[in-house]
A and B are shown apart, each in its own frame.
Chain A
Amino acid sequence: MAYHEFDCSTCIPERKKHAVLKGPEETLADALPAGYLSTIPGSISERGCAYCGAKHVIGTPMKDVIHISHGPVGCTYDTWQTKRYISDNDNFQLKYTFATDMKEKHVIFGAEKLLKQNILEAFKAFPNIKRMSIYQTCASALIGDDISAIAQEVMEELPDVDIFVCNSPGFRGPSQSGGHHTICIAWLNDKVGTVEPKITSDYVINYVGEYNIQGDQEVMQDYFKRMGIQVLSTFTGNGSYDDLRAMHRAHLNVLECARSSEYLCNELRVRYGIPRLDIDGFGFEPLSASLRKVGLFFGIEDRAEEIIREETARWKPELDWYKERLHGKKVCLWPGGSKLWHWAHVIHEEMGVEVVSVYTKFGHQGDMEKGISRAEEGALAIDDPNELESLEAMYKLKPDCIFTGKRPGEFAKKIRVPYLNAHGYHNGPWKGFEGWVRFARDIYNAIYSPVHQLAMVDISKDEIPTDRGFVTRRMLSDKNLGEEVRNAPGLRQYTGKFDLIPDLRNKTAKDYPYLRQDAPEELEQQETA
């Protein structure tokens, strides 16, 4: 593999070590992009800060918590509602955000009194919420406010509340990834082991590194519950504060996003002897293997097989409908961290698209090792690209679609490249068997959107065809398909509902017969009594 220098970045020679072209017969030992380094001055990065990583990515998906930022109001506003991590308690954590609203005078005179007043006001305004996370920002860190001391004071005054303090100001690391690290270790040190959970199954897991984007967690939790597994906690999507304090009692940590939370799983293994099982929740084959592994661990693999059979029979014909129409389309896989390796191989294998580039905004070299290994030859791997590099890559690679965040997504649209939001999704959930079909449908809709086709025409110089009328996606996608594919009897477009989450939330205990069957005897006795 060879390091790649962008034409636009020759004036920043350090950037050359951040991009690699995957060549034939070459391995990770030949070249690997540098990663998790401070952004080079002069390179306008698309990264978030360490406060954002701690609060917005990891902390805030916890659902039954007042999330308050101790700092200027802009810090909390800019990390509010831009990622769709829903929850089954009416999205409390999405609807409300809290800030102490520090001003210049507080920087001069201190803001501890302000913080305490805000904490008390917030608990008073929401008397049913008894848990709080406080996030330090650059401003409160620089003036040295002792947030932990204030939190302790409040907990003594209000004995029914519990407060978690996360000291991850924006400058604490080169990117949001620094914040992921800080909050994982802080949660483990301060909160894990402080609650003893009610165990309701012989098979107990923590589901770690899962943020319930548009319901991902609820889809996966449904599979686990159908297998009779108790999901003791989810770190952190749709997760409950007190459940997460009880993580030490799980039998297995099932790890999805290793980038954001492998630290936690590694420490849980060292301190509590809980094994770490890395899984892929995306794609039929990887998800099937993952469910089988979890089943095998507990000796209930037949239950996993039952789900895999049922879900594959239901959804595979729909996935294949899209695969026939996406075959050979070029995509850039440009997410934040883990999705570059969760998706790199499986969108190629199961949807037929060609991944011409992978990048990560805040990933470490370990993420690049995984992503490059899974991508096909010829893929351009980029660490922490700036906007000009991303543009240069798109002009050169000519992707049919890019999967990325909303910042690069916007300038991709300006050069007429359709984009899908890899962080918040378009019409998710994208996890699970049905979710994977929804992702394929979103890619199909993006690539074959008649609007995008019209946008490709430059009215200042292109000839405007006047002999063509109205077109649909289907007319565009099926133009070059043979009759045997166009009307293949076994294939069909997505037939699921607009929103699949309400049905999952409406399930009752009778929908999970294994959970009842596996309930420990003492619990059964307690319930009978």
Chain B
Amino acid sequence: MESLMKDRIEQLVNYIMKHCLWQFHSRTWDRERQNREILTKTLEILCDESVMPEDRLDRCHWVDAVVLAESYRKHYPWINNLSTVEITSLMKGVHARIDFLTITGSLNLELTDEHY
């Protein structure tokens, strides 16, 4: 079961790394915000929760989340059969892995530059 979950997390992470650009903003604080906002909204959309963006900055995150959730449903149809609890656990794993690859484990030396 644990191995299945790990495999599924990797599939979803690979999709993001190959097809998305939002996780690669240039600084740590931007990547933290992007990953948090977009993946949280993706989780809510996958769980059929109503997501109401607060302002236009938030709406931009929502846009990426909508397209990601649709892609997940299309390319990984098994996600449509998961319960809310399972999706939550799955997306928590995705978030942690994306944070690792793009922030905490990243070898990009520019991430901590104070200026843009």
Which residues of A come within 8 Å of B, CB atoms? 27-29, 31-32, 36, 185, 251-252, 258, 262-263, 266-267, 269-270, 273-280, 286, 289, 292-293, 296-297, 341, 345, 364-366, 369-370, 373-374
CB nearest neighbor in A for B102: A369
Some 23 contacts from A to B, beta carbons below 8 A apart, are A28-B105, A29-B107, A32-B106, A32-B107, A32-B108, A262-B25, A262-B26, A266-B25, A266-B116, A269-B57, A277-B64, A278-B22, A279-B21, A296-B63, A297-B63, A345-B19, A364-B26, A365-B109, A366-B26, A366-B108, A369-B24, A369-B102, A374-B18
- A277 and B63 contacting across the interface, CB-CB below 8 Å: yes
Question: Counting CB contacts under 8 A, is B100 at the interface?
Answer: yes
CB distance from A494 to the nearest CB of B (A): 26
- B108 and A27 contacting across the interface, CB-CB below 8 Å: no
> Given A258-B21, A289-B67, A296-B67 in contact, is the A27-B105 Cβ separation under 8 Å?
yes
> Given A277-B63, A296-B67 in contact, is the A28-B106 Cβ separation under 8 Å?
yes
**What B residues does A29 contact at CB under 8 A?**
100-101, 105-107
CB nearest neighbor in A for B66: A296
Cβ < 8 Å to A, chain B residues 61-102 = 62-64, 66-67, 71, 100-102
- B110 and A267 contacting across the interface, CB-CB below 8 Å: no
Q: Among A29, A267, A286, A292, find the residue whose CB has the most chain B CB atoms closer than 10 A.
A: A29
| Cα–Cα distance between A279 and B60 once the two chains are bound (Å) | 12
Q: Report which of A32, A252, A289 forms a contact with B56, defined as CB distance below 8 A.
A: A252
The 10 closest A-B pairs by CB, nearest first: A29-B105, A275-B60, A278-B21, A32-B107, A373-B17, A365-B108, A266-B116, A296-B63, A293-B63, A275-B57
**What B residues does A267 contact at CB under 8 A?**
116
**What B residues does A280 contact at CB under 8 A?**
21
Which residues of B come within 8 Å of A, CB atoms? 17-19, 21-22, 24-27, 30, 55-57, 59-60, 62-64, 66-67, 71, 100-102, 105-110, 116
> Given A28-B107, A32-B108 in contact, is the A373-B18 Cβ separation under 8 Å?
yes
- B19 and A297 contacting across the interface, CB-CB below 8 Å: no
Q: Report which of A266, A293, A370 forms a contact with B67, defined as CB distance below 8 A.
A: A293
> Given A275-B57, A292-B67, A366-B24 in contact, is the A27-B101 Cβ separation under 8 Å?
yes
| Cα–Cα distance between A137 and B8 once the two chains are bound (Å) | 54
| Cα–Cα distance between A273 and B66 once the two chains are bound (Å) | 22
- A36 and B110 contacting across the interface, CB-CB below 8 Å: yes
CB distance from B55 to the nearest CB of A (A): 8
- A275 and B101 contacting across the interface, CB-CB below 8 Å: no
Q: A365-B107, A373-B17 are in contact. List 9 more A-B contacts (CB 8 A).
A: A252-B56, A274-B56, A275-B57, A293-B64, A297-B56, A345-B18, A365-B108, A366-B26, A369-B102
Q: Among B19, B30, B110, find the residue whose CB has the most chain A CB atoms closer than 10 A.
A: B19
| Cα–Cα distance between A353 and B39 once the two chains are bound (Å) | 32
CB distance from B33 to the nearest CB of A (A): 11
- A31 and B107 contacting across the interface, CB-CB below 8 Å: yes
CB distance from B52 to the nearest CB of A (A): 13
| Cα–Cα distance between A75 and B101 once the two chains are bound (Å) | 42
- A266 and B18 contacting across the interface, CB-CB below 8 Å: no
| Cα–Cα distance between A31 and B106 once the two chains are bound (Å) | 9
**What A residues does B116 contact at CB under 8 A?**
185, 262-263, 266-267, 270
- A273 and B57 contacting across the interface, CB-CB below 8 Å: yes
| Cα–Cα distance between A296 and B106 once the two chains are bound (Å) | 31
CB nearest neighbor in B for A374: B18
CB distance from A165 to the nearest CB of B (A): 21
